[in-house]
Structure 1
Amino acid sequence: MPSAPLFLALRYLRPKRSFVSIITLISILGVMLGVGVLVVVMSVFKGWQVEFKKLLLGFEPHIVLVQDAPPRGELPEGVTPPPRLDWRELQKQMLKRPGVVSATPIVEGVGFIRNGKSDPEGAQLLGLKEGTDNALLTKLERHKLEGKFDLKSDNIIITDKLAKKLKVKLGDTLGVLAGDTIRQMIRDLRAADEEKDAAKAKAAKEDIVVVPKELVVTAILRADTAGERCYVPLFIGQELYNYGGDVSGIEIELSEPDAADQLSYDWMNSEQWPFDWRPRTWTENHGFMLQTVENQKSLLYFLLFFIILVAAFCVMNTTITVTVQKRKEIGILTALGTKASQIISIFLTQAGIVAAVGIVAGLAGGFTVLHFRNDLRQWVAAQTGRDFFPQDIYFLSEIPAKIEAADLGSICGLALVLCVLAALIPAWFAAKVDPAVALRE
């Protein structure tokens, strides 16, 4: 009868206040915990991946075109240097390419910022050109806490993290020095110290004068979503880093950011591409971090596989216990002509039921934890005094989560398959029992 294995499997699982019932309950609990942990961890990790990518794309240029430095030294006689393409001409060309939303000049470099006589704070500076066609500025607007983006005069846009360190607010004036200026000052001071003539050394030190560029804070951004970069007008960046009318690169915004690598490859391999310019994508800028995330994902899946494997061993223990206690009944069934495959199907069905109940309970528990994840985080932090999801490490103020049907399907399928396979071995041994021996016992 087709329903016989299911009938007997349910009968063996029926609570009877026995040791078997306790083992069955523990098995269900093991599967529930395994599935629940998998659902929570995989959903949080997937959510963090998505939010981390959104975070990068929220303030990072999709592609930056950088011009190689001109050749140094004297060229051989009769050899003329190859023509270099002006950034203005390249900008016009890029705006005509498919998939490009905007192409704007930038100047980037390291700077040191201080408020009055405070200790200087290092920061990455990016000089931008104001305009409605600058898609990067449009992205940054979403991260603005207060103020306005005024890049037409001597202004600077900083983050709330830097504002807190320097104890400044909107309208305050900051002194900004380029990193190259500081390095040159250090070289001049060392050269003065090496001067043997004390008078000349003193005079050389007195001649070293570094005047910071005074800029007014006109807007403050959220550091947790906009990164820690500061922004200045393009002409200020050119002045700080001695670019004159040149720029350090051209910032490209795309309609499809995920296509940045493929587009940059196609550009570099086209015949019309200028030899002295090379693209640098957002994935290259953060390649180490993105690769670290992928490595963590692979390791995480490997470890979580063993959680389900432990739950499967719990189901195996239940099957072993049931087959031992029901040994006499198995002998009777065998003596009545029940096939070995039918005996095996009884216990495989039993394992499948235990796994299914545990999976459903695990999904319910996992969804509950995910729903209250940030409340649980605050409660644990209040009880232990330690935040297990620090913002400075994970770059997010809240625990993200993204539940995908494919992940849930793989979790449930893996748990069910492993539990059924774990029950196969004791079920096979039970089916091979000699009915005469079983009945004598």
Structure 2
Amino acid sequence: MKQDKAMLNSFDPSATNALTAAEKGLVNRRAAALGTAYRLFYEQPLHIVRGEGVWLFDTAANAYLDAYNNVASVGHCHPKVVEAIASQAAVLNTHTRYLHDGILTYAEKLLATFPGALSNVMFTCTGSEANDLALRIARFRTGGSGIIVTQLAYHGVTSAVAAVSSSLGESVPLGTDVRTVPAPDTYLGDPATVGERFAQGVKAAIADLKRHGIKPAALLVDTIFSSDGVFADPAGFLGPAVEAIRAEGGLFIADEVQAGFARTGSKMWGFQRHGIVPDIVTMGKPMGNGHPIAGLVVRPEVVSEFGASGRYFNTFGGNPVSCAAAMATLRVIQEEGLQENSRAVGAYIREGIRELAVRHELIGDVRGDGLFIGVELVSDQASKTAAKKETNEVVNEMRRRRVLISATGTRGNVLKIRPLLPFSRENADQLVETLDAALTAVSQRRTKQ
């Protein structure tokens, strides 16, 4: 089987020469038991057996600095989250059709981090489910079905959200009522006009939907535009596009699975950087620090009729153990000052990488907010030619040097750097120094070719 062309930084199952006998055995067992749909990261997959803080450990007890995994966002196996899960699991775990303080206390604490207009929360197990539910609500509320997403969007894996996830590739077709718009690219396009350009794309998508007799229901975006290449600035550029969809009676859905929970540093939620209040906000992975809890926050007037006419129930969504994990995670973010840490350390990392750009011609652009950073690699700075091959090489060179990142972007040439929220300046120094060494190694190989 050939390497998946649609997924960046994926392992090629036919290239096992570099693997140990034990690793080959695991790869073969995995293929036999799990089938062909799953993917592994890196040219040489990692066999991770333990996590602690910002570190992952393999079978040989080698430590890897985790600068990518946003699932355990407050640190792998954070003791306060572990304790909350274990304590609640020892008392009760059941569904949400009984009264329980845990779900209500967490809901109130979570809603307190949002603008007042967003005052209802609904719980799910995964971000995919949250986005699926958001689409149901949007279509019910508006009477339309048309959904607008970015050209390399990823919003999940259920049938409904796979149909709006263009990043899954041509083998996963978009819905007939889905339209894509160009990413709000501030490297290939003028940053001063990015808001206007993005809004024009949304307006064109609206016009095309209407031309085909499809009423627009929602604009759905990941507010850090992670899959498209990480675009955060200038703050406020999303406003005109939101105005455009609302002018047609559609809703704005902010997918905060990746940008939310203090990830972007300057704000708790990515949409807040743009001075807008969404109609629906979806959340996922980091909500319970890896425990399966997700959900959406919504304006009550948007969901009231949907809720009254068609009940919502999710057996495990919002169960007591999941809510305990989520409550502990939120407390850690707030009590340990992780939003401010994200802001400060993220700025420190970006500045360090910009200093590398003076010496490394491969670096074309450094962008992001907080601990969500995109580094665009180019083979020619003048023409901004994408260095996709070199990007893959840098990612795997860093993995060999035991620092974990990945790749993203419409051209496959953006380093996706997403450290855990407790990342320290010392961790940041190791990250930047390792990136320096990796870029040097890749550049030297290019020179010899």
Q: Is the helix fraction higher in 1 or 2?
A: 1
TM-score interval, smaller chain: under 0.3
TM-score in terms of structure 1 length: 0.24
Comparing both chains, which one has the higher relative contact order based on Cα–Cα distances under 8 Å and sequence gaps of 6 or more? 1
TM-score in terms of structure 2 length: 0.23
